[in-house]
Amino acid sequence: MDGKTGSHRMWVDLMITAPITLFLLWLYRYSVPSSAPAWLLRFDALLFVVTAASVVLIIVLGHHLIEYPGMGLNVMLVAFAYCTLVTLLGIGWGVRWLWRERAG
């Protein structure tokens, strides 16, 4: 794959994932319990950064390291980025649920 085509496809994939990623990250931050302890807020902030970075890194590194013909690479990377996004945020919501169960 030539560099210019790969670069265009990478940017298209980033633009495809951006709206869903931003919405889910906003929803995750919006759903922080008002009575959350400091450790949970720090965990949320760390998870927020790790999740956003993971989505970008999956797409950028995937396009630079994997040679796959056609649009299959785009589909695989976007799907993997979404699965990672949902998994990491699911872990965060699970930690919040466990905290809520133990707190009250």
pLDDT digits (tens, 9 = 90+) for 53-80: 999 999 999 999 998 888 899 999 999 9
pLDDT digits (tens, 9 = 90+) for 26-47: 999 999 988 999 999 999 999 9
- What per-residue confidence (pLDDT) applies to 92? 96
pTM above 0.85, yes or no: yes
78, 17 Cβ separation under 8 angstroms: yes
* 66-81-23 Cα angle (round to 5): 150
What's the residue count for the chain? 104
Spatial neighbors of 29 by CB under 8 A, at least 6 apart, are 44, 48
What's the CA gap between 20 and 9, in Å, rounded? 18
Domain count, the chain: 1
Longest CA pairwise span in the chain (Å): 57
The DSSP result for 20-84, as a single string, is: HHHHHHHHHHHT--TT--HHHHHHHHHHHHHHHHHHHHHHHHHHHH----TTHHHHHHHHHHHHH
Segments forming the whole domain that contains residue 90:
3-30+38-103
Across the range 69-92, mean pLDDT stands at 95
